[in-house]
Homo-oligomer: A and B are copies of this chain.
């Protein structure tokens, strides 16, 4: 054991975090043993374990993640690529993911793309650069270059908030089209014949596309049409939705039912109605989607669809972990939604 002359500082240089080497020296073992103590303690003698544990505690040793990731090619980080946190729904899905990942010792690296497919590709590259072990995306539709990148990256990924009908990419979600189909059907059953639709821009947003398609399909089946002037697109915000709704209210024969592809739109629409003195549900029925507190607490309460957003997050995290650890896992999961009728819908007034 030749004393290292370059390491004779009595004060352990109060900067610089301690490394495995420091721990090894203090515990009187080699760095290999320290490493084993961390990763597979069962192959380390009990006495040695105690010594190492003490040194670790005393030096406040935390293994260097980058070094570890470099050598073992596993970073124990999972990347989540979501559209936005402004709309609380994605935050809840992400939160559920985070809880599962945390319990398994993984960390969550997060990025938002604000509904921009090019930005999504860029941030995904960035996360790949950080060496995340797996990816979770929102939605089924993405830049082909993104899928090429994932192919090349060779790590697990899963798409959420929808289920890939072609079963090309692992996905966990629910049937967006069926959900709005059911909602529209509900309104048709109540007797509505003239509909409006408030939707997010469908460009690069398959959730919005599918939700709109569900409405159209249900109407078509009932022999009804959705006229262009009755469809409004806009960003997900209360004020935008109120503006969209005002346009619908100004139509000559006014729709008696307005389907909104999410609760924010629906509440924005309710605000516009209140301001215009249009009564809900007497004069007009309004429906939302995602069953948020925002909608449920309105007066009248918003008829909506409970989507399994928390379950999706949990299942996505479970899937990528299972695959990372070499376990088999169902790559496609369709979770159920549920229509929640409340006071914002009723039959049209028979005037």
Contact = CB atoms under 8 A, between A and B. Distances in A.
Specify how many copies of this chain sit in the oligomer.
Answer: 2
Nearest to A237: B293
A126 B111 contact: no
A112 B85 contact: no
A70 B64 contact: yes
A63 B126 CA distance: 10
Best-buried of A68, A99, A293 by chain B (most CB within 10 Å): A293
A77 B109 contact: yes
Interface residues of A, number: 56
A293 B130 contact: no
A88 B85 CA distance: 8
A85 B94 contact: yes
A149 B60 contact: yes
A91 interface: yes
Interface string A63-97: 11111111000011100000011101001101100
Given A62-B128, A84-B95, A297-B294, A107 B109 contact: yes
A108 B80 CA distance: 10
A298 interface: yes
A297 B102 CA distance: 35
A169 B122 CA distance: 35
19 contacts: A63-B129, A65-B66, A65-B130, A66-B66, A66-B67, A66-B75, A66-B130, A66-B131, A85-B91, A86-B92, A86-B95, A95-B112, A102-B123, A107-B111, A107-B130, A108-B109, A238-B293, A267-B293, A274-B299
